[in-house]
Structure 1
Amino acid sequence: MKKLLQIVLISSLSLLCFSCYYDEIPEGLDTVITDDDVPEIPDTQVVSFSTEIQPILNQCTGCHAANINPDLREGNSYNALVPTYVTADDADNSRFYKYLPGKGHHDVGITLSVDEIALIKAWINQGAKDN
C-alpha cells in the first residue's frame, strides 16, 4: 500500500510540475502596450461603436460570450460594457480600457494593436456613445 501511495504521489507531482500549457509565452503575448504607445485620435474624428469598436470586440467573443462577462457579442456588447465596465469620457479610469488585451489582460491568445486600442480609448473619451 505504501509503495502504491508513493507512486501516485510522485506521478501527481510530476504532472503538476511538467504539465504547463505553454512552454514559452507565445510571441506577441508578452508585449505590454503603455499609454505612451497609443496614438491620440483627434476629437474631430468621431469613432462609431457599431462600425469601428464592435469589429474589434468580435475578436474577443471566443471567450467573452454568454458565459464570461462582459458579453461582447454583437447586439449585447454595448449594454454589457456601459456603464459597468466603461466610464464615459474617462478611458483611463475605465475597467474595460485598463484590461484590454495587450494592456492589462494577457495570455488570452490575442493582443490588440495600438491603433485598435487608440480607437477604443477615443470612443470612451468621446462619451462612449451607442452610435
Structure 2
Amino acid sequence: MCQQFISILSEKYNFTRVQEDILSKTPSALGRNERRILFETLKPREREFKIFLKEKYEQLNKEDRHFWLVATVDSLLAKGGESAIIDGLLMDVIGRLEVYKVLRQRSEIEGRALKPLVNFGGLSFVLVAMVIITAIILYFLH
C-alpha cells in the first residue's frame, strides 16, 4: 500500500530506486549504508515532503482522505504496527492520533497482535511518562 504514496513523492522529487526502498522500510530494518543515505539525502528534505503531501491531502475529498487513512493503517497492520519511513510522513499529514486510534480499533476487531509499545504511540510515550514521573519524584524529594 505504501508504494502508491512513494510513487506520488517520486514523481515530484525523482527518487532513485534505493531511496524508494528506504522509504518503504522501517527504521529498524535499515542497514548502515541505507541509514547514511536516509540521513544525508532524505531527512534534510523531510519537511518539504510533508508540505507536498499535506497540499495533496488537503485537495482531496472526504472519501479519498479516508482512503489515505485506511491505506496507512493497512500498511501499519502489515508490519505489526511498526511504521515505515513513508508511513511516518503520512501519519504526520493525516494526524498521528487519528491513525493510532483507527489502528488500535482495527487490530482489536481483526484480532491482530501489534508489536510492543505500538498501542501507546511508540517509545516517545514511555519517555514522556518517565520524565513526568521523575519530575514528580524530584519535586517531592526537594
Compare the two structures and name the one with the higher helix fraction.
2
Q: Give the greater-gyration-radius structure (CA).
A: 1
Determine if the TM-score, normalized by the shorter chain, exceeds 0.5: no
Q: Report the TM-score when normalising by structure 1.
A: 0.28
